Amino acid sequence: MLDSARSLRRRLAAPALPAALALVAGLCAQADANPAKDRLYARAGFLYLQPVPASEEVVLSDLMGPAELALPDGPVAGSGVSADAVAMLAGTIGYRVHDRISIEAVIASPFTMTLTLTGTLANDSVAPYALGNIPTGVPAFGEKLGTTKVLPPIVTAVYRYPLHPRVRPYGGLGVSYVYAYDTQITNPVLTEVGKPTVEIDSDLAWVLQAGVDVHVWKRVYVTLDAKFAAGLDLVARMKGLELAVPALPIYGTVSAGTGTAEVTVNPLVLQAGVGWDF
């Protein structure tokens, strides 16, 4: 379902991108007629990213041997994956193509995000019994799943409203491309006897933006900014899952195959800082 949604969004983005570029080109052509006093600007401050996730159930596949006697092949009812909030230093650079219109990008170093399990995978054993009534001793996984490094460039086109010479609210629309790498599973149950790997697909998201600049001194101002990235669909594939079976030592370990999690993240990004015009 997420694959079809991602495909639809990309088909919609295909004609929209040339139109957006044409709009920016037109604005640049008008810049001489409506010159911006200070073309370049920058901001620096703090960024807080709060994921607003909606997760599909984790799907198990490629089960082998004894695992088929205890584990469900397919969705694990009531399970899910989420991500913790992140705070960091970040900045913004921008270029005014018009007195009221600019193009800007968020500048931040790659950050580490903590991934968590939710629902039944966190609180209940995924395989409490084999053949329906033989205890396995497999514990609940707990909330901790792993970590991933994320590089999420954000570019937006911004319109500033001439509300007051010292106070300028603004709104924007743009796009973000999320690239995840160096993803690791750190869950103690999943890493007790195996070395599972995990991959997270990259994806595009539309970005809605709102904020305000308040002039404080010469070319210096304070700024508050909020962005919401809509439709950010990420797919995580956990491969090589191995589980110990404490109550059935004759089996040693069992192969739990692959776990696939599909999550719509929809992060809310809040920034506060100081800006200046060049």
**Residue 189: inside a domain, yes or no?**
yes
Most trustworthy range by pLDDT among 23-27, 31-35, 202-206: 202-206
Question: Apex CA 235: angle with CA 232 and CA 237, to 5°?
Answer: 160
Cα–Cα nearest to 76, from 265, 258, 201: 258
Task: State the pLDDT confidence band at 37, using cuts at 50, 70 and 90.
Answer: low
- Strand pairing report for 86-96 and 101-107: antiparallel
**Residue 10: inside a domain, yes or no?**
no
Cα–Cα distance for residue pair 262/206, rounded to 1 Å: 18
Residues 145-173: what's their mean pLDDT? 93
Residues 214-237: what's their mean pLDDT? 93
**Residue 6: inside a domain, yes or no?**
no
pLDDT at res. 4: 52
Instruction: Say if CB 231 and CB 9 are below 8 A apart.
Output: yes
Nearby residues of 131 by Cβ (< 8 Å), 6 or more positions away? 69, 70
Residues 187-214: what's their mean pLDDT? 94
Would you say residue 106 has pLDDT above 60? yes
Cα–Cα nearest to 115, from 196, 42, 198, 47: 198
pLDDT at res. 2: 44
Task: State the pLDDT confidence band at 133, using cuts at 50, 70 and 90.
Answer: confident
Would you say residue 162 has pLDDT above 70? yes
Structural domain including 140 reads 41-265
Task: State the pLDDT confidence band at 253, using cuts at 50, 70 and 90.
Answer: confident
Instruction: Say if CB 204 and CB 13 are below 8 A apart.
Output: yes
**Residue 26: inside a domain, yes or no?**
no
Residues 184-189: what's their mean pLDDT? 95
Cα–Cα nearest to 142, from 117, 165, 162: 117
- Strand pairing report for 74-75 and 86-96: unpaired
**Residue 9: inside a domain, yes or no?**
no
Report how many domains make up the chain.
1
**Residue 203: inside a domain, yes or no?**
yes
Instruction: Specify the CATH number for the domain of residue 108.
Output: 2.40.160.20
Instruction: Say if CB 204 and CB 163 are below 8 A apart.
Output: no
Task: State the pLDDT confidence band at 14, using cuts at 50, 70 and 90.
Answer: very low
Would you say residue 113 has pLDDT above 60? yes
Mean pLDDT score across all residues of the chain: 87
pTM over 0.85: no
What share of the chain has pLDDT > 70, as a percent?
A: 86
Q: Is residue 120 within a helix (H) or strand (E), and if so which, with residue range?
A: helix 120-123
Would you say residue 24 has pLDDT above 60? no
